[in-house]
Amino acid sequence: MEVHRDDEGSKIGMWLFLFTEMVLFSGLFIVYSVYRYLNREAFHQAAAHLDVALGTINTIILLASSATIAMSISAIQYQKKKQALALLTATVVLGLVFLVNKYFEWGEKIGHGIYPGSETLASYGHGDVLFFGLYYFMTGLHALHIVIGLVFIGFVIWYIAKDRITHDNFSVHENSGLYWHLVDLIWIFLFPLFYLIT
């Protein structure tokens, strides 16, 4: 059977997959908004525990990484392989820095006894339990998506280095970009919901 190539079809497929991811997270946004509505005061108080500066830095890091991967797709179309590789590597580095920041942020919270199921957290009251439950669950799931995205981009780098992705065959590259932007898109909503609305 001849190999059937349909870049537009792959892109539709990727978008459809992104829709399922959006709906997946929207389930959590429903839970968040319901519990925020039911525990308004407690959510305000609890959000104040999070470090706005760290959150802002991470937001800018993710936005920048989104720009670099988008630029790398232009680079591959301009047939500038080295630039494309450099921009993708920058994306991976920024993604890793985001994860490291996240690690310290979580570590600090856990160090203070704030984690699901802990006695300390339970003593703060129901609103805090739900806020931090959602915080860990949603940022955790988001971080998992970052890890998957980094692996995906790693493959793209490998393919470009091996010339399997070129200026006239870069569908995989483009789709990895779409996936990475989705991760960014979700963070754009997570950031105000957890860090800003205090």
Partner 1 sequence: MISEPKHASEPSYLEYKGKHKGILAWILSTDHKRIGLLYLYTIMSFFVVGATLGLLMKLELIAPGKTIMEAQMYNVTFTLHGIIMIFVIVIPGLPAVFGNFFLPIMIGAKDVAFPRLNLLSWWVYIAGIILVLIALFTGDGPPDTGWTFYAPYSFKTAGNMLPAVFGAFVLGFSSILTGLNFIVTIHRMRAPGMRWMKMPIFPWTLYGTAWIQLLATPIIGITLLMVAGERLFNIGFFDPALGGDPILYQHLFWIYSHPAVYIMILPAMGAISEIIPTFARKEIFGYKFVVGSTLAIAFVGYFVWGHHMFTSGMSGTALFAFSILTFLVAIPSAIKVFNWISTLYKGSIRMETPLYWALSFIFVFMIGGLSGLMQGAVAINVHVHDTHFIVAHFHFIVFGGTGFAFFGAMHYWFPKIWGRMYDAAWANTGWIIFFIGFLSLYGPMFYLGLQGMPRRYYDYDESFHGGNILSSLGAIIMIAGAMVIIVNLIRSARKGAPAVADPWGGRGLEWKIPSPPPLENFDEIPVIK
Partner 2 sequence: MENSSHHIVPYRVYLIILAILILMTGISVAVTQIDLGVITIAVALLLATVKSAFVLIYFMHLKFDNRMFSIMAVGVFLMIGVVIFVTFLDYLFR
Binding site for partner 1 (CB under 8 A): 1, 4, 6, 8-9, 12-13, 16-17, 19-21, 23-28, 30-31, 34-35, 38-39, 116-117, 122, 125-127, 129-130, 133-134, 136-137, 141
How near is the Cβ of 141 to partner 1 at its closest, in Å? 8
- Chain-centroid distance, C-alpha 123: 31
Identified binder of partner 2 from the candidate list 17, 45, 51, 64, rule CB under 8 A: 64
Decide: 197 and 46 in contact? Cβ < 8 Å.
no
* 70 binds partner 2 per the rule CB under 8 A: yes
Gap between the Cα atoms of 142 and 44, Å rounded: 22
Element (H, E) at 19: helix 7-38
What residue 163 binds from partner 2, partner 1, none (CB within 5 to 8 A, per partner kind)? Answer: none
68 vs 49: CA distance, rounded Å: 32
196 binds partner 2 (CB under 8 A): yes
Residue 191 interacts with partner 2 (CB under 8 A)?
A: yes
Tell me which of 48, 63, 147, 148 binds partner 2, using CB under 8 A.
63
> What is the SS3 string spanning 60-123?
HHHHHHHHHHHHHHHHHHCCCHHHHHHHHHHHHHHHHHHHHHHHHHHHHHHHCCCCCCCHHHHH
Distance CA 7, CA 165 (A): 13
SS3 breakdown of the chain: % helix, strand, coil, rounded to 5?
85, 0, 15
Site for partner 2 in 4-33 (CB under 8 A): 4-9, 11-12, 15, 19, 22-23, 26, 29-30, 33
Which residues would be at the binding site for partner 2 (CB under 8 A)? 4-9, 11-12, 15, 19, 22-23, 26, 29-30, 33-34, 37-38, 52, 56, 59-60, 63-64, 66-67, 70-71, 73-74, 77-78, 168, 177-178, 181, 184-185, 188-189, 191-192, 196-198
